[in-house]
Amino acid sequence: MGTVVTVTDSTFADVVLGNDRPVVVDFWAEWCKPCVMISKSLVELAEEYGDRLVIAKLDADTNPEAVRTYGVMSMPTLLVFRKGEVVGSMVGARPKASLRKQIDDLI
């Protein structure tokens, strides 16, 4: 069963860049209402994808290095990584079906 993992600036390289599986990183913040809106969908998608994909959450307010490195300007921003490279991005809240379709297209 897939779960959403928490990633930080210090664990980003290991969890995201060094992962054999595709990784979707959710750049979020506690004050961000759209981030809260998609949170449940991301948990459900992590369960649906299981071992085929990793979904990681990164708190943008407490992890400025990754935010700066990847030029995240608004939240939520979801970046999709494959073999350590960004292969796609999604900015803003969207329905679960839309998230699933975009993730499917990228992995």
- The domains found in the chain, sorted by start residue, are 4-106 (3.40.30.10)
Q: Whole-structure pTM over 0.75, yes or no?
A: yes
CA-to-CA separations, 34 to 13, 26, 80, 81, 105, in angstroms, rounded: 26, 12, 19, 22, 23
* pLDDT tens digits along 30-53: 999 999 999 999 999 999 999 999
Provide the pLDDT for residue 3.
85
CB 99 within 8 A of CB 41: yes
Q: Which residues are catalytic?
A: 32, 35
Provide the pLDDT for residue 107.
83
Provide the pLDDT for residue 22.
96
